[in-house]
Amino acid sequence: MLKNFLSKKKKDKLSRRRFAIIMGIIAFIFFVFIFGKSGFITLVRMNSQKAALENEIKSKDQQILQLKEEIKALRSDPVQIESQARKTGMLKDGEQIIKFVPKETLNKE
């Protein structure tokens, strides 16, 4: 009877150790799958970065289309061409530039 009791204690210790080892392994695997280099958290972070980059790409594509339309207008639309030419100081034949000078500048000279 004493032998059965002692062997039962040993079996209990062994089963506890096995249980602890198995739980440790399961915890390690869980930790790796959640927090590891290619774990769930990393996957979620990368998906959010991907979505942000896709939005940025769409925004840049729209900006490119607007700039292409502006280039097309600057090459062919006479109103746009004249507007840009006047911004750079160009004049039509027969036009003159009239500059207004502040009074303070005239009094100093």
- pLDDT at position 48 is 96
Series of mean pLDDT values for 10-residue runs along the chain (109 residues): 59 81 92 82 92 98 96 88 82 79 71
CA distance 98 to 107: 19
Tell whether pTM > 0.85.
no
CA angle 62, 67, 70 (to 5 degrees): 130
Q: Give per-residue burial for 7-34: e unless 16+ CB within 10 Å, then b.
A: eeeeeeeeeeeeeeeeeeeeeeeeeeee
Assess contact for 18 and 12: CB atoms under 8 A. no
- pLDDT at position 57 is 98
- For tokens 């490119």, the residue is 64
Domain boundaries, the chain: 11-85
- pLDDT at position 21 is 92
- pLDDT at position 2 is 47
- pLDDT at position 10 is 67
